[in-house]
């Protein structure tokens, strides 16, 4: 349907001001509706910045969690070493007590 023709037929006071029924700058020029155009809006920069900020926060928390894991693992290894050392000393003490009949 060509609404440009309708706007040229109707008197000016009865013309619809809606943009699909005629644009005031076109003055009744016929526009073909045969072309297909899909507009893809560019990504919203605010949304993009928000996602970058969220990624930064997640990355920072991930790095902090990895560092905390390494710290806990090092502490665990220290405790294991200390327990083994105490067990070795306890075994030496038991051996000394048995050999000397104390």
Q: Is 22 exposed, middle or buried (0-12, 13-18, 19+ CB in 10 A)?
A: buried
What does the pLDDT look like over 78-95, one tens digit per residue? 999 999 999 999 999 989
37 is a domain residue? no
Number of domain units in the chain: 1
Q: Which positions ≥6 away from 45 have C-beta within 8 Å?
A: none
Question: What is the DSSP secondary structure assignment for residue 18, as one 8-state letter?
Answer: S
What does the pLDDT look like over 47-72, one tens digit per residue? 888 899 999 999 999 999 999 999 99
Kindly state the percentage of the chain with pLDDT values over 70.
Answer: 57
Find the domain containing 65 and state its range. 3-29+44-100
35 is a domain residue? no
Name the pTM for this structure: 0.46
């Amino acid at each position: 349907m060509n609404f440009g023709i309708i706007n040229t037929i109707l008197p000016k006071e009865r013309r619809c001001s809606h943009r699909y029924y005629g644009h005031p700058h076109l003055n009744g020029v016929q526009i073909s509706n045969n072309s297909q155009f899909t507009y893809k809006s560019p990504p919203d920069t605010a949304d993009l910045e928000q996602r970058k900020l969220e990624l930064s926060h997640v990355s920072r928390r991930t790095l902090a969690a990895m560092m905390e894991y390494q710290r806990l693992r090092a502490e665990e290894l220290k405790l294991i070493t200390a327990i083994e050392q105490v067990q070795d000393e306890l075994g030496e003490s038991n051996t000394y007590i048995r050999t000397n009949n104390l």
